[in-house]
Structure 1
């Protein structure tokens, strides 16, 4: 995207902010951050680039046709990368309508506006949760059924519908869809499992692990993901879908990750609390085959080194995450041990 004008929706969010920074570092002519600044949006994530003359912030809601049209008309981006979404599964259980509005209706608004504006490339950020769980093997890009399919949570179902919408525009707009796995890294809102465990450990609190702790995820570093999105935007085939996620050997269970964290911080093993609470219909295992994006040259880093670097970042940046703790913890009912 060297020399391009790039619009990033949700650029004040966790993953979007990493991509904004990556675009600026790699020579974008202009990066426009469109974000409505929901509870998880925080412009402090971009303090280091806020004075860059090639960076602009525009407050707007992706589900508002007039607001989106105004931003597109003002900046005429050649590339649009659509990160903006409600993303927390637990929140989706109590607010499915909000998730549908932002994730489905917001995606429709963005697609229609970008098609009308003649955008050269539209990258839609989906999720591996659109496939649903898989106990053995790995999903390939063609394995997603139409509609909600096997997606379980209101979040996953809304993203499955948005994924279909994006691909349905392939004849009107050069669309690429990217399906990442569980992301982690600096500046992640501390409601998500790994940063939540980190900040609780640093504060001397127990680390709640749901169920039996044997849930399996592919842990994807945010910077590695930004690189994958850039590849999809520049070298991806229009109309194609790209899974993005590292394969871990052995696979990483939640309980193993929590034990690694406690050991690395020199804490007693009993700091981990197995909770009576577990997420409804908690998907046992996700796994995707990322061969297609790997064929474009994408390579993830060492996950354990990246996890350790993330722990160090949270240890050194309490001023960023402390203001978010009350909101992050407000949704949970998992502190009672079984």
Structure 2
């Protein structure tokens, strides 16, 4: 496969509210630093390289970028890199951000935002990105408690015009149902990849039935806290990758996209070569036998 010739449109498109995006997007979490995301000893990403990768992503047809104000390391902020690289923004570019968690300037994680603090987080994203509104804002949570008060605060900001569309991150089905009584939900962003549980697959399918985009994070196996897949690269997966002339990471991305037309991938990287491979994965077509083999890995662990 010649990755350089592939455009993100090869993966097909889906709707985020009234916006249409290619199903292969870009996650900005790894832009500010190299190595493990948020690790204390992570090295700074070269600024010019990060900017170059963002611009190249758009050249390759990526029009959906996932970010957050808490994606930063010393001297580097994902939002400000996006602003520097891509402003003035193309009309078809959709930038999705997250609120809920917070980090102090030193990088220490802070308690999840109160409804009152959420407006400040939205305004910080607006300032860093240099925009007067946010295309999509996901409320990211931890736990199973009610989200009505927090999601309601974001719904008010949507009514005020600061937010165009709302989504949810790291949630369960009852959170989605609760949020939908307050305002429309255009996407759910949850951990998902080869090795996902039957309950996770049911939630993915539920979103599809409701025409809600499902956006997996950590779908490519990593290390430490960013490991999304729970299976290793066994002989069968290696054989499938060899048959297509691609990496196992590309097979994992392709498998994710095969889970439904409403699934949007947001692989992140600061490496131009990996970017091209990620975009190229959107054109991979796995056979039924290959999908069956990869599905059989779902309940294995390493």
- TM-score bin (small chain): 0.3 to 0.5
Q: Given the two structures, how large is their TM-score scaled by the length of structure 1?
A: 0.31
Q: Please tell me whether Structure 1 or Structure 2 has the larger radius of gyration of its CA atoms.
A: 1
Q: Given the two structures, how large is their TM-score scaled by the length of structure 2?
A: 0.34
